[in-house]
Amino acid sequence: MASPSDAVGRRQATVKAKVVLLGEGAVGKTSLVLRYSENRFNDKHEQTLQASFVEKRLNIGGKRIQLAIWDTAGQERYHALGPIYYRDSQGAIIVYDITDEDSFHKARNWIKELKRMLGDKVTLCIVGNKIDLDRQRTVTERDALEYAESVGSQTLLHFSQAEQGNH
Ligand SMILES: Nc1nc2c(ncn2[C@@H]2O[C@H](COP(=O)(O)OP(=O)(O)OP(=O)(O)O)[C@@H](O)[C@H]2O)c(=O)[nH]1
Ligand SMILES: [Mg+2]
């Protein structure tokens, strides 16, 4: 039978979770992480080389969570490194730029790869970033919604602007 001290021990145990950001170069992956972790925005594109790592400690409903966020490089020459970062992730955030159709295509390729390699072991979240640039939008909300539904009911779709802090 569990003793009260076990219950305390359980409550205080830290849950570790790993999330990876994937997507074409310049879609705003690093900007989303910067907004989330430091509430800042940098309007210059400083290409991520290989990947960078941020740790965030959260407390959700009394549960301590240690979130490891891996922000990968979008340039094609780094594509083959993807598995190193997504292999044991619980969540993958696949980012595209709503003004860049190619980046939406690239996001769909990442999702295909994740499904093939990890099946349902990973929670997918598709993010259409740069919604402040709605006037230059080339990927409609409807196309994104239809695509997210076709991937599966477990897939989340979110629109963001790292620029203004709707992350
Ligand atoms: N207008 C606007 N610009 C954004 C937004 N998010 C990011 N940017 C800009 O887009 C450019 C690329 O952003 P990054 O965050 O460096 O892109 P990335 O996906 O990390 O790029 P790689 O590291 O090369 O893969 C930068 O100039 C950002 O300032 C946004 O929501 N709105
Ligand atoms: Mg980056």
pLDDT at 37: 92
Helix spans in the chain (H) = 4-12, 29-38, 82-86, 101-118, 141-151
Residue with the two structure tokens 């400083």 = 46
pLDDT, residue 10, reads 55
* pTM of the full structure: 0.92
Token pair in block for residue 54: 């941020």
Using a 6 Å cutoff on CB, does residue 106 contact ligand 1? no
Q: What pLDDT, on a 0 to 100 scale, did the predictor assign at position 166?
A: 59
Query: What pLDDT is stored for residue 153 in this prediction?
Result: 59
Report the separation in Å between the CA atom of 6 and the middle of ligand 2, taken as the mean of its atom positions. 42
Most ligand 1 atoms within 8 A of CB, residue of 20, 21, 43, 45 to mutate = 45
* pLDDT at position 77: 95
Domains and CATH numbers, the chain: 15-159 (3.40.50.300)
How much is the pLDDT for 145?
Answer: 93
Q: What is the block-wise mean pLDDT of the chain (167 residues), using blocks of 10 residues? A: 52 88 98 94 95 95 94 97 96 97 98 94 94 96 94 81 75
Q: What is the pLDDT of residue 6?
A: 53
- Contact, 147 vs 140, CB < 8 A? no
29 lines ligand 1 (CB under 6 A): yes
